Amino acid sequence: MPAVSFTHQAFNEVYSTPDQVRAHYHVLMDQLSRLGVQEFERRAGLSDLSFRNQGITFTVYGDAQGTERTIPFDMLPRIIQAQEWQVLEDGLKQRVKAINLFLQDLYGPQRILKDRKVPFELIHSSPNFRREMFGIQVPYGVYTHVVGSDLIRDEQGNYRVLEDNLRCPSGVSYVLANRTAMTRIFPRLFRQYRVRPVQHYTTALLELLHSLSPRHIEEPTIVVLTPGIYNSAYFEHAFLAQQMGVELVEGRDLLVSEGKVYMRTTHGRKQVDVIYRRIDDDFLDPAAFKPDSALGVPGLMQAVRAGNVALANAPGAGIADDKAVYPYVPEMIRYYLTEEPILDNVETFSGAKGQDLMYMLEHAQQLVFKPVGESGGYGMLIGPQASKQEVQDYLLKVKANPRNFIAQPTISLSVHPSYYKDSGTFEPCHIDLRPFILVGQETTIIPGGLTRVALKRGSLVVNSSQGGGSKDTWVLEDDELPLQHTMLEAPVAFPDPEDHLPDLALEAIRMAQEAQQQ
């Protein structure tokens, strides 16, 4: 195996010391060491080819070199022990339960505002607060059916929630594609580790969407609503629709008549019961939100209010992932559940608070600044990596609109070895973790999630739009580790991707394109 370098500046997921591999990584690192550089690179190349064959891409907006890219895949998996995962699962379930209770309250009696646990002005100044949702009854009282919370580990190895993605969280298709590739690259190693499965995600998602149908019929009509082929996550929209066996539609494929939503088909109109929407609130309904939106469905909110169609996620859920509201999530847990948070937040300073703002301005060179309405790593300032002039220019924007910014201490995210072909070595790269949570009558968390990797040397930004990649995440069935001697056989030959790898994603896109031409 290529050489591995070590850093003392962050928690290392694989090594406890430069010479000591953590117990649950022993077998993996031993087996990889027997591959040799040439065989490792061969398998890495085959994994890249499998992703290209599957049509797995994302869009980088404003990229002069072209927008379509395959997300870089790092072949060394992240391993999470069973006991460690149980803590994360319990903490995430607690968190999404409190967030949904907060949203019920916010679009109802607003007790938490009246009790001054969350500032009234903070909520009512947010563009993500949707007054149109007042009085609407959502199924099971759940607003956030699909959640992707971003977790990091600090320098001491403690997990913290960095942010909650509650509107249209993306990335689960890469979780499934990564797993497909890894089970073929290292099938025996995978089985020996007794890794918990993730491929049931689309089945669980479909069951959840079925349960939301306002019509209690055996086969409700479910659709995935996409902005179209130019959206950065279009591949994922097509992939999920194909895997669930439901229609992928754009706004122009739907219409509202007499308070009901219909899909245009070659056989006439068909009533739609549930919409898994991958369109932001602003563009959902030009009659209710942004009037110039060409992506949404006029009158959609009228049908929602009438109780004739369910949306996942519900409009208005985004107020709870407003970065200015994020610091109050621990208080939501205490307020609604009378429990202490299992997972801590990252310390956060809000420009909306006078005292916090003063600290932000005085310590800018040591902080990470984020606009509250941006995502994907856009608009950030990493103080320690910025010049004095860059900091001064950025602070002008902060002073002009303090409510629009938060700041956090610069945390050295945990690191995991990733392979760099240019040096032929494994180097420590910063990572985070995005588990995917399905919330309905019950809450289901898919074991693992998307481990994102900051592949630019020295970078703390893991977003794919900023040069990041991903890893497969292995959650173990139990804490009994595989025996070392069982792994010493010769590497299993990797089949020709052209002949053996399923092109599910490519087929999904092909189907979507055919549907558009009809």
Q: Report pLDDT digits (tens) over 423-481.
A: 888 899 999 999 999 999 999 999 999 999 998 887 887 877 667 889 999 999 987 77
Between CA 495 and CA 104 the distance in angstroms is: 51
Pairing between strand 436-439 and 443-445? antiparallel
**Whether residues 363 and 431 fall in one domain:** no
**Whether residues 276 and 244 fall in one domain:** yes
| Amino acid present at 148 | G
Domain of 390: which CATH number? 3.30.1490.270
Domain edge (last residue) among 371, 394, 410? 410
Whole-number pLDDT of residue 501: 33
In a domain? residue 467: yes
**Whether residues 239 and 275 fall in one domain:** yes
Between CA 367 and CA 27 the distance in angstroms is: 39
Which 8-state DSSP code applies to residue 463?
A: -
Strands (E), 282-375: 310-312, 344-345, 349-350, 367-371
Cα–Cα distances (Å) from 258 to 262, 306, 378, in that order, read 10, 10, 41
State the CB neighbour count (10 A cutoff) for residue 105. 18
Which residues, in sequence order, are bridge partners of residue 453?
A: 431, 469
Write 506-511 long-range contacts (CB < 8 A, 24+): 506/53, 506/54, 506/55, 507/242, 508/55, 508/235, 508/238, 508/239, 508/241, 508/242, 508/243, 508/248, 509/55, 509/234, 509/235, 509/238, 511/238, 511/242, 511/248
**Whether residues 177 and 35 fall in one domain:** yes
Whole-number pLDDT of residue 509: 44
**Whether residues 233 and 360 fall in one domain:** no
**Whether residues 90 and 55 fall in one domain:** yes
Between CA 3 and CA 472 the distance in angstroms is: 21
Pairing between strand 73-80 and 469-475? parallel
Whole-number pLDDT of residue 38: 84
In a domain? residue 365: yes
**Whether residues 124 and 20 fall in one domain:** yes
**Whether residues 22 and 162 fall in one domain:** yes
pLDDT for 324-345, tens place per residue?
Answer: 999 999 999 999 999 999 999 9
Whole-number pLDDT of residue 455: 85
Whole-number pLDDT of residue 462: 83
**Residue with structure tokens 């022993």?**
26
**Residue with structure tokens 């070659």?**
266
Question: In this structure, are residues 204 and 243 in contact, taking their beta carbons and an 8 Å threshold?
Answer: no
Give the residue among 269, 277, 254, 316 at the shortest CA–CA distance from 123.
316
Residues 99, 147, 334: CA angle, nearest 5 degrees: 20
- Domain of 240? 215-308
Domain of 275: which CATH number? 3.40.50.11290
Determine whether 493 is exposed, middle or buried from the number of CB atoms within 10 Å of its CB (0-12, 13-18, 19+). Answer: exposed
Cα–Cα distances (Å) from 447 to 55, 81, 211, 455, in that order, read 25, 11, 22, 24
**Whether residues 59 and 108 fall in one domain:** yes
Whole-number pLDDT of residue 467: 72
**Cα 123 to the center of its chain, rounded Å:** 24
**Residue with structure tokens 């320690």?**
384
Cα–Cα distances (Å) from 474 to 11, 25, 108, 157, in that order, read 18, 11, 41, 18
Between CA 510 and CA 504 the distance in angstroms is: 10
Extract the tokens encoding 35: 């591959």
* Residues of the chain scoring pLDDT < 70: 1-8, 50, 54-70, 376, 465-466, 483-518
- 66 phi and psi angles, rounded to 5 deg: 115, 145
Q: Which residues contact 264 (CB under 8 A, 6 or more apart)?
A: 253, 254, 255
In a domain? residue 433: yes
* Predicted model pTM: 0.89
Whole-number pLDDT of residue 483: 61
Give the residue among 214, 199, 278 at the shortest CA–CA distance from 246.
278
Between CA 387 and CA 371 the distance in angstroms is: 19
Helices and strands of the chain, counted as H and E runs: 16, 26
Question: In this structure, are residues 416 and 454 in contact, taking their beta carbons and an 8 Å threshold?
Answer: no
**Whether residues 120 and 166 fall in one domain:** yes
**Whether residues 353 and 433 fall in one domain:** no
In a domain? residue 266: yes
Whole-number pLDDT of residue 485: 47
Domain edge (last residue) among 477, 495, 513? 477
Q: Is the dihedral of CA 49, 420, 157, 466 positive or negative?
A: negative
**Whether residues 377 and 339 fall in one domain:** no
Q: Count how many residues are written for the chain.
A: 518
In a domain? residue 505: no
In a domain? residue 494: no
In a domain? residue 285: yes
Cα–Cα distances (Å) from 234 to 56, 129, 169, 243, in that order, read 10, 26, 13, 14
Say how many domains are in the chain. 3
What's the CA dihedral at 103, 107, 109, 115 to 10 degrees?
50
In a domain? residue 300: yes
